[in-house]
Structures are given as C-alpha cells and as structure tokens.
Amino acid sequence: MNPFLPEIRRLLRTPATWLLLILLVAACVLFVVVSPQSTPSPSQSVNLAVTVTYSSSYVFSVYTFDGAGVPVGGAQVHITLETPNSTLPPVGSVSGFTSSAGFSSLSLMVPPAVYYAVYSVDSNGRSAVIGVELPVPQIGKIEPGPGTFTLVQVGDFSLTPNLVVAFPTPSGFALSGLSVSYYINESGQGVSGPSSNLTGDVGPLATMAMRFQFSLPPGASSGFPIVFQLRNGSGAILASQSFDLGSVVAGYSGAAPSGEILSTWIQWVEFLVLAFGVLMGYVAYGRDRISGALEPVLAQPVSRVQVLYARYVAAAVMIAGGVSASVVFLAAWIGLSAGISTPASLVVAVWGSVLWEGLVILALVMLLSQLSMSHITVLGGGLTLAAVLSLFWKDVTSVVGDFAKVPSVTQTTSTWQGTVGLLSPARIVANPAGWVLNTQTPNGGDLLSISPNPVLAWVALVVWLSLPLVALALCARYRD
Amino acid sequence: MLEFRDVSKRFGRSRRDALHRLTLTFSEGEVLGLVGLNGAGKTTTIRIAAGVILTSGGDVVVEGKSITTDKAQASRSIGWVPETPAHDPRASLSRLCNYYADLRGDHGSTRARDLLSEWGVLQFEGRAFGTLSLGERKRFALAVAGVGDPAYYLLDEVFNGLDPLALTQVRNWILQGKKTQKGFLVSSHQLREVQAISDRIAFLHEGRLIRCLDAREIPSSSRKRLQIAFDPIDANAMRILGSFGEVEQGRGGVTLTGEGVDPAAINMSLVRAGYSVRRLEAADPELETFFLHLIGEQS
C-alpha cells in the first residue's frame, strides 16, 4: 500500500493544516491590502530605473515611467552621492529633467570609490526615492612578481588612469630605475604611452600614485585591453597585469514606490513560507515523531521510508498550495491594482524560489525531529533556520526586486533577465545558460556573484537542490 | 509462523544489548507468553516484531517475509497493541481509525467502526484520543490492531489499565482467536494471566532468552503456601491444619506452608470437622515461583 494518498488525506483532515494555510494566505493578503503605498493607480505612480556607468565620470542613465510602464517626461531627477560614512557631507549631486521619452543622462565628476547613491524623482506631486550602494567601479591587482615588489593597484580605469604602486615594506624603500609601462593591447603592440620612472624613497606609506595621459586607440570607442608592466632598470618585467579598459558598469538601481512595497512583500512572503514550512514539518512529522504517535503508523504495512517520504510529499503539497495561493494573489494584485505588467516567467520564478525554500526547510525540520525528541528544539531550531535562510540567502529578494522594479520596456531588461540564483530552480530551467556567471546582479544580491567560478557555482547549486533528499535520506537511516 | 532469527538490539551508545541474539518462533493458533523483569527486553522484542524499531542484528520473519527487507508485506500479518498507546491526541477516534484503515488499503470500509463497537469505544468515536482514559486507550489500541485482520497479534502489557470486564473480554478474545488460528505474543507482568492463556512461555532476562517452555511443563514447586479463610478459627482448626504444615494466623484467615500440601485434602478435613471454608487459594502462582527460581539461577 502506497501511503502517499492516505497521508495527504490525513493532513487535509488535520485542522492545524487549514489553520496554518489560512494564516499564511491571510498574512500575505493583509500585508499588501493594508499597505497604503501598494495601491497606486497606474497613472498615480512614478518609477525610476537607473543604469550607472563609469568612464572618467559617473554617468547615470535615468528612465522614468508610471505604473503602467508609460514613460513619464519632464520629471525632475536628483542624484546625490554620499560616502558610506553618513557623518560626512555628500561628495556631489546633480539634477536634471527627463525627456518626453522618459530618459535623462546625468553625470558627476568625482573620484571612483564606494558611494551611497540617493536617487529621487518628482513629477506633478508624484515622487520616489531610493538609496543604493555603488561599488568602486573596478579594482585591478597585479600579482606578486620577482623581487620585493608585490602589488600594483589600479584604482581608476578612466582615460586618465590613476595608478597606485604599493609595496609591502612598512618603512621607507629606495626605488630606482623602475618604470611602469602600458600598452593598449594584450600583445604589447599598438599605441604605447611614455614610461614614467619611479625613483626615490616612497616613504612610510609605501605607495606611490601616478597619472597617465593617453589617447584612445583607433576604433576603441567602447572598451579595449590595456597592459600595465612594472619593470626594473634593466627592463626586466617584475609584474604585469592586463585589464579591459573602457566603459565599466559600476552599478544599477531602480526604484518605485510600488516596487519597493512589492519587494518587501516578497521578503515577507519568503519568511512566512519558511515559517510555514517549519510548522508543516512539525505538524506532518515532528509532532508525531516526538510524541510517539508515529509508532502505530510504522506498525502498519508500510516501510519507514515510505512513511517518511509520504509525509514529506503530503506536507510539500500543502506548502505548494500555500505558496501558489500567495503568489497568484501577488500577481493578480500587481496586475489589477498596481497596473504593472508581470511576466508569467517571473511569476513562475518567484513561485519556484519561494517554494523550494519551503521544501528545503521542511526536510531540515523533519531531520531535526528525527535527531531531537524535544518540541522546543524542533520548533525553535526550525524557526532559527528559517530566519537564517531568510536573512542571508538574498536571491529571492534579488529576483523580486527585479520583479517589482523593472518594467518590461526598459533597456535594462537584458541585465536582470540573465540573473539566476541558487534559490531559483525555475529560473534555471527558464534560462539554463544565463545563470552561471553573473557578477553584475542589479541588486548585488545574487549568491552566484560570490563565485564567478562556474564549477563552484554548479556545486553550490547541486548542494542546494539536493538538500531535501540528503536530509530525508539521513532521516531514513537514523536508528534509535 | 513468526520467527525471531538471532535478533539483537542495542540502543544508541549503550554498552549492553537490550536484546541479545533472540531466536524464537510462534505459530498461528498459538499463544506465546513473554515474561521477564523490567528491562528484560520484552517490549523491545515486541516493538522489533511490530516494525516500530529496527534490529541491530538478525531479523524477524513473518510468514516468510522479512520485517527488515520486506517490511510492508511482513507487517500486513501483524497487529500491535503497545503498552502505552500513543496516537495524535487531537485526532478523533474515527479519524484515526479511518487513517489506519487507509494505510492498510481498506479505505472507506466499515471494519474499523465494527472494531470500535466490538471493543466498546464506538460511543467515543467523535472524541479526541487525548481525552480517553488509559483503559479506553487500551481498548482503542486493541480495535486499531485488528483493522487489517492480521494473523498475529503482539500484545505488550495488554492487561494493564483494564477494568475486570475488559480484562475478561481480552482473555476471551485471545482464547477465541486461538480457535480461529490467530497467533498471539503476550508480554505481561501479570503472570497468572499469562499462565492462564499461554500455550508456551518464554522467559527473558537481561535481554536474553533463558528458557521457553510448554505451559504444561512448568514444574510445580513441592513447597506451597495456601491462604485459607474459614469459620470459626479456633484451636482445633489450628491443630488440624498444623498436621499439614506450618500455620500462621493472619487477618481473616490463616496461611499454611508445607511440602506437598494438597488443597483438596485440607478442604475436606476442615469441612468434615464442621468448619465453613470460605476461601482456599495458592498464595503464589506456580509460574511466579518458577520464574523467580529461574531468575535466581541466572543471577
């Protein structure tokens, strides 16, 4: 006798299941409905999407649009760059108005560094504000070479490179006969700039900054390789590093009042589903395991593995039901109330991401129930795990940030559509080629961005996807 | 046939086997009693056969099906009544019964309800299991054990917590079951009950099977104690009884201890002398005497 159907019937007849399901959906609905900012009519909202590039200065490509995706022209956009230290004054700000097509390009000439960018937009009484951290555009590093020279750091890839030569010795270091060369292509040919001699004592700071002036090579309008070499007096290369120089995407952000709410909403749903997974694991398995009520079940003509998997599947069905109801409600709400066009693929992506987290936590709670015979340990441990997953695994936030913020008509679409995270099996299925390497995740939250190594990324993915099976297998092998 | 084949069980990091290489069989139509002190391994034996816990070694084979490798098939022939029945305390009896029937592939049948009626708990079918008394829980467990109409019943301390009426019902049910070729493995501390219903009795001590005997083979002790209540208790009566053994007067009667005391002969002597005998019974059941003797040997 296969116990799957009996277990599903059992859970359906358990009042706690329905209570939890109702609480889950009600909490989700309540959060959206009572939120005043979540219900702007399409024409009442204004949204902002910004792409930041750095090429000798920060260039902000701004696009403003309303809740229906219609461009908003004549909107005033104000951008302020602040240092991470909030006690210091802003390093710069710029304002401008968008064209009738909703676009505007604003630039700020400030040194590249880590900034906190505050974007605001005003249009006929409608406004939106968002803050986002801008990383340093790019930092290059030359690996150790012979001799005592260990580091050449390039802090600026503009057309006037700001080269910093760093040494490990804390005290003064006499330099003589060293030079830094650069070439415009990898083969060392093409346009070569003048060598600058590094001579003298660099002092206790052990760094030396130089600026280089050179012209773009013919045809190199949007990016080209450049090679830096550190040579000694006899011309031998001590260290070398090449970089792709050109237009560098420094950051990205988009903002909308409704978008922010939706993003928060999904974070909320994510945690609710995780908590729901914990409670369903407890109701479906842990509670009976701890109280001994599982024993009469094991005495029936079913194997313990069947019981384990059947209870897992039954609880998973309930979680899928709860997640489906919540996400469908979200999609409908966005479509009907906020008026934002929601691609079906993204609805599926959000659904898959949240559901998978629920299934993972469910298996972990069942394993916890197997190992511990304490109600408090299982529930407390499960909820702690849920909180950890919710706080540190940012993928869902990232996905939903895109989901909520980016309309289907902007030029940034290609960027976020390529973003696939570990928690998003549905997205991987939808776009198997796009997930492996994505270090430019719009919101910086993609787990894969920590590992541009495809092998590690695949390993991490396999671990994440196999976690429920591993937990259940450990559960099945457990002996009293 | 239900066979324990060299079954061992060790819990966690315990240094001692809770059950050590137990080999034992019993058949349909047979009642096998299982006796032993606390911690002897009776409950472990039954829980292993029920498939509730796994063995550390050996196997239990039910009608040729291994409880280890073919659990679903093996358990089909088994009904288990635990010492302390535990079910979802919030679930009603009818819901629980339907669930177990469902697991036995008996979805929607009326058998579960019939069993609730048979064991006198049908009137509680709408009540949550957690609200039942110990006796009611025991009777519910007996009903659940019968859901699949198994060939073998594993009864762990089944007599505990039952009122005299239910006790009689269980005893009769077992004896009736024997006639319909059901097999019973009955563990209990109530040795008198075990002795009354068992065909064979297995003695467990510290996880080991120390003896398994036909109930008729249990030897009688030559030195017996009888408790006798009669009227009037006077010097003549004490003299008559004194000819049979040592007499000790207590509340409501006397205790007679001696070699080969014959209850029938004592009763006849007292009645002939004009005494009214109200009660005459063995102070210790033979099984208990034998069991204690065995334990003493082992120790």
Q: Which of B71, B76, B87 sits opposite A296 (nearest CB)?
A: B87
Residues of A in contact with B144 (CB under 8 A): 296
Find the residue in B nearest to A479 (Cα): B54
Chain B residue numbers touching A5 (CB-CB < 8 A)? 102
Cα distance from B104 to chain A (closest Cα, Å)? 6
Other beta carbons less than 10 A from residue B168's beta carbon: 11
Three-state secondary structure call for residue B45? helix
Cβ pair B86:A304 closer than 8 A: no
- Best of A5, A20, A294, A300 to disrupt the B interface (most B CBs within 10 Å) is A300
What are the backbone dihedrals phi and psi of residue B121, each rounded to the nearest 5 degrees, phi first? Answer: -120, 15
> For the stretch A45-57, what's the b/e string if a residue is b when 16 or more beta carbons lie within 10 angstroms of its beta carbon?
bbbbbbbbbbbee
pLDDT of residue A459: 65
The total domain count for chain B is 2
Out of A150-164, B94-108, B282-296, least confident range: A150-164
Give the distance from residue A285's alpha carbon to the nearest chain B alpha carbon, in angstroms: 11
Rg (CA), chain A: 28
Write out the two tokens for A102: 């909703």
Nearest beta carbon to residue A302 from set B95, B103, B107 = B103
**Residue A181 dihedral angles phi and psi, to the nearest 5°:** -115, 155
Strand partners of residue A126: A123
Four-CA torsion A155, A160, A166, A172, nearest 10 degrees: -140
Specify whether B65 is located in the same domain as B96: yes
Q: Which of B133, B156, B137, B153 is nearest to B145 (CA)?
A: B153
Three-state secondary structure string covering chain A:
CCCHHHHHHHHHCCHHHHHHHHHHHHHHHHHHHHCHHHCCCHHHCCEEEEEEEECCCEEEEEEEECCCCCECCCCEEEEEEECCCCCCCCCEEEEEECCCCCEEEEEECCCCCCEEEEEEEEECCEEEEEEEEECCCCCEEECCCCCCCCEEEECCCCCCCEEEEECCCCCCCEEEEEEEEEECCCCCCCCECCCEEEEEECCCCCEEEEECCCCCCCCCCCEEEEEEEEECCCCCEEEEEEEEEECEEEEEEEECHHHHHHHHHHHHHHHHHHHHHHHHHHHHHHHHHHHCCCHHHHCCCCCHHHHHHHHHHHHHHHHHHHHHHHHHHHHHHHHHHHCCCCCHHHHHHHHHHHHHHHHHHHHHHHHHHHHCCCHHHHHHHHHHHHHHHHHHCCHHHHHHHHHHHCCCCCCCHHHHHCCCCCCCHHHHHHCCCCCCCCCCCCCCCCHHHHCCCHHHHHHHHHHHHHHHHHHHHHHHHCCC
Domain membership of residue B295 (yes or no) is: no
- Domain identity same for B172 and B233: no
Tell me: pLDDT of B95 over 60: yes
pLDDT value for B162 = 84
Residue B70 lies in a domain: yes
Query: Cα–chain-centroid distance for residue A258?
Result: 20
Q: Could B103 and A5 be called an inter-chain contact, meaning their C-beta atoms sit closer than 8 Å?
A: no
**Is the domain of B58 the same as that of B87?**
yes
Query: Which chain B residues are within 8 Å of A1, Cβ to Cβ?
Result: 72, 103-105
Task: Give yes or no: residues B167 and B272 share one domain.
Answer: no
Residue of B nearest to A310 (CA): B103
Answer with the one of B217, B238, B254 that is the final residue of a domain: B217
Give B90's contacts in chain A (Cβ within 8 Å).
15-16
Give the global pTM. 0.64
Query: What is the layout of strands, in order, in the sheet containing A174-183?
Result: A196-201, A174-183, A223-231, A237-246
The reply to whether B167 and B199 lie within a common domain is yes
Q: Biggest alpha carbon distance in chain B?
A: 71
Token pair, residue B289, equals 């005497």
What the block records as the tokens of A260 is: 């922010």
Angle, in degrees to the nearest 10, between helices A304-333 and A344-371: 150
What single DSSP character describes residue B163?
Answer: -
> Are the beta carbons of B95 and A13 separated by less than 8 Å?
yes
Tell me: do B212 and B230 sit in the same domain: no
Residues B33 and B175 in one domain: yes
Contact between B95 and A306 using a beta-carbon 8 Å cutoff: no
- Token reading at A52: 């930041």
Within 8 A of A299 by CB-CB distance, chain B residues are 50-52, 75, 78, 80
Residue type, B139: R
Of B82, B84, B102, the CB nearest to A6: B102
Residues A301, B76: C-beta atoms closer than 8 Å: yes
CATH of the domain at B253: 3.30.70
> With an 8 Å Cβ cutoff, is B53 touching chain A?
yes
DSSP output for B120-150: T-GGGTTSBGGGS-HHHHHHHHHHHHTTT--
pLDDT attached to residue A68 = 59
Q: pLDDT per residue over B103-125, tens digit each?
A: 888 776 788 888 999 999 999 98
- Tell me, what's the pLDDT at A422? 33
Please state, rounded to an integer, the average pLDDT across all residues of chain B: 87
Contact B100 A296 (CB under 8 A): yes
User: Which residues in chain B are contacts of A17 at CB distance < 8 A?
Assistant: none
Q: Which residues are within 8 A (CB) of A411 and not within 5 positions of it... i.e. 6 or more apart?
A: A51, A61, A63
pLDDT at B34 over 90: yes
Question: Is B80 within a domain?
Answer: yes
By Cβ distance, the residue of A9, A297, A301 closest to B72 is A301
Closest CA to B141 of A3, A244, A295, A315: A295
Query: Taking CA atoms, what residue in B is nearest to A478?
Result: B54
Q: How many CA atoms lie within 13 A of A81 on its CB side?
A: 23
Spatial separation of the C-alpha atoms in residues B95 and B79, rounded to whole Å: 19
B39 vs B74: CA distance, rounded Å: 26
Q: Which of A14, A292, A480 sits opposite B11 (nearest CB)?
A: A480
Residues B232, B110 within the same domain: no
| Token pair in block for residue A354 | 């949240």
Contact between chains at B72 and A1 (C-beta distance less than 8 A): yes
Pick from A1, A16, A295: CB nearest B52: A295
Interface of B with A in 103-142 (CB under 8 A): 103-105, 107, 141
Contact B86 A291 (CB under 8 A): yes
Rounded to 5°, the CA angle A48-A50-A54 comes to 165
With respect to residue B257, please indicate whether it lies within any of the assigned structural domains.
Answer: yes
- Supply the pLDDT for residue B202: 93
- Assess whether the previous peptide bond of A442 is cis (omega < 30° from 0): no
CB B83 within 8 Å of CB B47: no
Does B205 share its domain with B270? no
- In order, the DSSP letters of B251-272 are TTEEEEEEET--HHHHHHHHHH
The angle subtended at Cα B85 by Cα B34 and Cα A471, nearest 5°, is: 105
Read off the pLDDT of residues B7-26 as tens digits, 9 standing for 90 and up. 999 988 788 889 999 999 99
pLDDT tens digits for range B175-187: 999 999 999 999 9
Q: Are A97 and A55 a contacting pair, CB within 8 Å? A: no
Among B217, B246, B274, which residue terminates a domain?
B217
Let me know: does A474 contact A434? Beta carbons within 8 Å: no
How distant is the Cα of B12 from the closest Cα of chain A, in angstroms? 6
Which tokens sit at B98? 């339907």
Q: Are residues B129 and B166 located together in one domain of the fold?
A: yes
Chain A residues within 8 A of B85 when measuring between CB atoms: 296
Decide if A298 and B51 are in contact by the 8 Å CB cutoff. Answer: yes
Residues of A in contact with B87 (CB under 8 A): 293, 296
Q: Is B229 on the interface with A (CB under 8 A)?
A: no
- Asked if B196 has any chain A CB less than 8 Å from its own CB, the reply is no
- The answer on B126 and B108 residing in a single domain is yes
Count CA atoms within 13 Å of residue A146 on its CB side: 5
Provide the terminal-to-terminal Cα distance of chain A, rounded to the nearest Å.
25
Residues of A in contact with B84 (CB under 8 A): 292
At A367 the pLDDT is 94
Interface touch B86/A3, C-beta < 8 Å: no
Spell out which residues of chain A touch residue B44, defining contact as CB-CB under 8 Å. none
Q: Is the pLDDT of residue B214 over 90?
A: no
Considering only alpha carbons, which residue of chain B is nearest residue A14? B91
CB pairs under 8 A between A and B: 83
CA distance A135 to chain B (A): 53
Range of the domain at B260: 223-283
The whole-number mean pLDDT for each consecutive block of 10 residues of chain A, a chain of 480 residues, reads 85 90 85 52 62 73 70 86 73 90 86 75 70 55 34 38 42 44 46 42 40 43 53 60 44 32 58 90 93 92 91 94 84 62 63 83 94 91 85 46 30 27 37 33 31 52 82 84
Residue B115 CA to residue B173 CA, distance in Å, equals 12
Is residue B289 included in any domain, yes or no?
no
- Would you state the structure tokens that stand for residue A9, as one six-digit string? 């019937």
Per the domain annotation, does B106 fall within a domain?
yes
Last residue of a domain, one of B195, B217, B239: B217
Q: In what order do the strands lie in the sheet with A162-166?
A: A140-142, A151-154, A162-166, A207-211
Minimum Cα–Cα distance from B107: chain A residue: A6
B59 and B133, same domain (yes or no)? yes
Interchain CB contact of B99 with A (< 8 Å): yes
Instruction: For chain A, say whether B238 makes contact (Cβ under 8 Å).
Output: no
CA-based end-to-end distance of chain B: 33
pLDDT tens digits, one per residue of B145-171? 998 889 999 999 998 888 888 889 999
List, in sequence order, every residue forming a beta bridge with A82; answer none if it has no partner: A116
How far is the C-alpha of B48 from the C-alpha of A202, rounded, in Å? Answer: 79
Q: Would you state the pLDDT for residue A477?
A: 82
Cβ–Cβ under 8 Å, residues B181 and B29 = yes
The helix/strand/coil state of B73 is helix
Structural domain includes residue B51: yes
- Kindly give the interhelix angle for A304-333 and A4-12, rounded to the nearest 10 degrees: 50
Assign B280 to helix, strand or coil.
Answer: strand
Q: Do B99 and A302 touch (CB under 8 A)?
A: no
Does residue B61 sit within a domain? yes
Distance set, CA B51 to CA A396, B84, B207 (Å):
43, 16, 18
Contact B52 A287 (CB under 8 A): no
Please, which pLDDT band fits residue B86 given cuts at 50, 70 and 90?
very high
What is the SS3 assignment for B30? coil
Interface test with A, best of B19, B55, B83, B88 (most A CBs within 10 A): B88
Structure tokens belonging to residue A420: 């696939």
- Reported as a single tens digit per residue, the pLDDT across B64-80 is 999 989 999 999 999 99
How far apart CA B141 and CA B82 sit, in angstroms, is 8
Chain A: closest CA distance from residue B163 (Å):
23
- The CATH number linked to B126 is 3.40.50.300
Per-residue pLDDT band for B227 (boundaries 50, 70, 90) equals confident
